[in-house]
């Protein structure tokens, strides 16, 4: 089952581990996961991360 993003809060300077599960259409060749906060890119996955 897939669900949309949920609000998450962490203390500044602490470490947070977020689980990302998604469905990829088998017809797509390459997928990229991008983490954003307030429209600013936080982390971008590489194709080898899948």
Residues 6+ apart with CB under 8 A from 42: 35, 36
**Distance (Å, whole) CA 36 – CA 5:** 11
What is the tens place of the pLDDT at every residue in 1-50?
A: 666 667 888 898 998 877 777 778 889 888 777 777 788 887 665 656 54
Q: Is the dihedral of CA 44, 38, 17, 5 positive or negative?
A: negative
pTM of the full structure: 0.41
- Token representation of residue 35: 């983490």
Domain ranges, residue 4 = 1-50
Total domains in the chain come to 1
């Amino acid at each position: 089952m897939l669900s949309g993003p949920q609000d998450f809060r962490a203390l500044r300077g602490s470490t947070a581990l977020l689980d990302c599960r998604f469905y990829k259409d088998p017809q797509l060749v390459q997928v990229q996961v991008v983490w954003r906060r307030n429209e600013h890119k936080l982390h971008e996955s590489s194709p080898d991360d899948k």
